[in-house]
Amino acid sequence: MTEQFSNREGIKGMINPTRYGLHRVAYWMQRLSGLGLLAYLIGHIYETSTILNGKAAWNNMLSLTETPGGHMVLVLVIGMCVFHTGNGIRLMISEGGKGVGKPGQPEYPYRASSLNSKQRLCIWVSIALAALAMMYGAGVLFGD
């Protein structure tokens, strides 16, 4: 069956954070930050491996991270790391069946218990913590 016949949304649909509320935004941010951290890990391993080529190569690599662009990347990594951890803890607990509400008689207008206010609060707290950590990191890196 061709893709058009199957009408599957594909990656374009998967990464679209709009349409389905805060949980879908959190899903998108979790995936994005996960990929970002993976890219950072690979870059970090490459960066530290330069020490094998001697002191000059290591210093040369360090000078790259000590630029405003390098600092921006590190600030972003701090944010991704904090959000991914905070939201990841929420997901691990929820995926064990905790904090997703109790089944009951649904009543119109049918607000899903699994998308409850505690879940939303956890997402917002993860975002806020990430923002605070980024601000602190920026203060340290860009401060004199």
Point out which residues bind another protein (CB under 8 A). Answer: 1-2, 4-11, 13-14, 19-21, 23-24, 26-27, 30-31, 91, 94-98, 100-101, 103-108, 110-115
**Residue (16 or 67) nearer to another protein, CB:** 16
Which tokens hold the place of 90?
A: 């929420």
Which tokens hold the place of 74?
A: 């590190």
Is the four-CA dihedral 128, 134, 139, 142 of positive or negative sign? negative
Residue 32 sits at the vertex; the CA angle it makes with 17 and 27, to the nearest 5 degrees, is 45
Minimum distance from residue 37 beta carbon to another protein (Å): 16
**Residue (29 or 78) nearer to another protein, CB:** 29
Round to the nearest angstrom and report the end-to-end CA distance of the chain: 61
Minimum distance from residue 118 beta carbon to another protein (Å): 13
Minimum distance from residue 13 beta carbon to another protein (Å): 4
